[in-house]
Each structure stands twice: as structure tokens, then as C-alpha cells.
Amino acid sequence: MSEEAVLREKLRKIEALFAGAGTVGERVAAEAALGRVQARLAELQGRDKTIEMQFSLRDQWSRRLFLALCRRYGLKPYRLYRQRLTTVMLRVPQAFVDQVLWPEFQELNGALVQYLNDVTDRVIREEVHRDTSEATEIVHALPSK
């Protein structure tokens, strides 16, 4: 199984976990799982106050994943005029963010970051130089010229 296939399977399992899927059969029924999460969001929107939340996502990969996850659940992420590209705004019930969206994002993002790090290390090691370690830390600064 390729690294990408492993990542895709891991992402499906994480999503199934947050959607409440308990069996392999439920994971296959991804539409049903998504429907459960969307129903939960609708319930929270009816019960809890929708608030405007601001998220700062450091890198483009995390931001793109977060945007896709929001859109998957029917949310409409946006950015206010003159806000940084790293900022994502969202109108959503706090409980949905705390119980579903943010924990799922953290799990998915952890898997994605690990995959991207592994691929980057492998490509650099195979195509540029085999030593992909960080720079050596020295105690004293070198004397200036």
C-alpha cells in the first residue's frame, strides 16, 4: 500500500471516528456519517447561539484542510477585508467547534503534517542530500570578522 493510500485510509478512519461510526460498514457509508455530523450541526445551530469565530492557521496546508472540512459540513468560511491569508472566520455554534470541528481538524491535520514531512524528507534525502537533519547547534557564536 502506498504512503498516500495509507494517509487516505487514516483520514477516513479519523472522519469515521468523529462522525460516530462504530463499524467498518459504517465507514464505507461515508454519506451516512457525514449526514449524522450535519444533523448534529443543525441541532446545535437550532439550540445554541451561532457566534463569529476567528482561526489563525500557520501554513497553507492546514488552512486548506480546515477550509475543506468547514465546507464539507456546509459551513461558509470567509475572511474580512484586509485580514491576513492565515485568518479564517466562521459563524458557527461554539459547541460544534469544541466537540466536532476542531478535534477532527487537529487529528486530520496531524496525519497530513506527518505525511508531508515524510515525503519532504524522502525527496530531499533521495534527490538532494542524504542528511536531512537540522543544523548543528553551537554554544558560542563565531567571532565576527
Q: What is the pLDDT of residues 6-58, one digit of tens each?
A: 667 777 776 666 665 555 665 556 566 666 766 777 777 777 788 999 999 99
14 falls within a domain: yes
Cα–Cα dist 101/73, whole Å: 9
Q: Is residue 135 part of a domain?
A: no
- Which cell goes with 141? 557564536
Residue 49 lies in a domain: yes
The string of pLDDT tens digits covering residues 108-124 is 999 999 999 998 999 89
Q: What are phi and psi of 23, to 5 degrees?
A: -130, 165
Count the domains in the chain: 1
Q: What is the DSSP letter of 140?
A: S
For 29, phi then psi, to 5°, come to -85, 65
Does this model's pTM top 0.75? My answer is: no
Residue 139 lies in a domain: no
Residue 9 lies in a domain: yes
Greater confidence (100 vs 41) lies with 100
